[in-house]
Structure 1
Amino acid sequence: MSPEVFLDVFQQALKLIVIIVAFIIVPSLLVGLLVAVFQAATSINEQTLSFLPRLLVTLAVIGLGGHFIVGLLMDFTIEMYNRIPQVVG
């Protein structure tokens, strides 16, 4: 395996990881920010108030976007299997 092929595979894998993680985490971060602003405005310091909305949004994003995530992972896996001849020979 040449270094160029390895770096290309590594770059694609990192890009895929960033897309999947951002797809799940960004909505949770936005909801956490909104809840934090609400807590600061109302002086409510309840820990569960910030945890539960983020958990529900994360589960909803995984549930609604799971098909998209699995599709990305399947495309990457199929591409890796198609690259086997290039890596071996």
Structure 2
Amino acid sequence: MTSGTVLTIVEQALEVGVLLSAPMLGAALVTGLLISLFQAATQINEMTLSFIPKLLVLVLVLIVTGPWMINLMVDYMRRLFISIPGLIG
């Protein structure tokens, strides 16, 4: 196994990690921004106000994108396991 092969595996793992986290992080970012705008407009300075909407949005995003996330992980792991004999020998 060469250093190029290791770098390719690490690059693919990072790519899958970014793809898996992007929907959740994007939804949390947009929800937090909307709640912050609402708090600024109404001058409500409650720190716990953003927790429940973010939690609900993240659960909804996980329900919607969950099957895609699982398929992405299964495909990556399948490709990785299939390539193990070629990596060793």
Q: Which runs of 5+ in 1 are unaligned?
A: none
Inter-partner Cα distance in structure 2 for 1:36 and 1:65: 25
Inter-partner Cα distance in structure 2 for 1:77 and 1:84: 11
Q: Which runs of 5+ in 2 are unaligned?
A: none
**Could you say what the CA RMSD is over the residues aligned between the two structures, in angstroms?**
0.8
TM-score for both structures, normalised by structure 1: 0.95
TM-score for both structures, normalised by structure 2: 0.95
User: % of aligned pairs identical?
Assistant: 38
Q: How does 1:36-75 map to 2 (within 5 A)?
A: 36-75=36-75
Inter-partner Cα distance in structure 2 for 1:63 and 1:75: 19
Q: How does 1:8-87 map to 2 (within 5 A)?
A: 8-87=8-87
Alpha-carbon displacement from aligned partner over 1:5-64 (angstroms, at most 9, x marks no partner) = 110000000011011111111111101100101100110111222111101000111111
For these two proteins, the number of residue pairs brought into alignment is 89
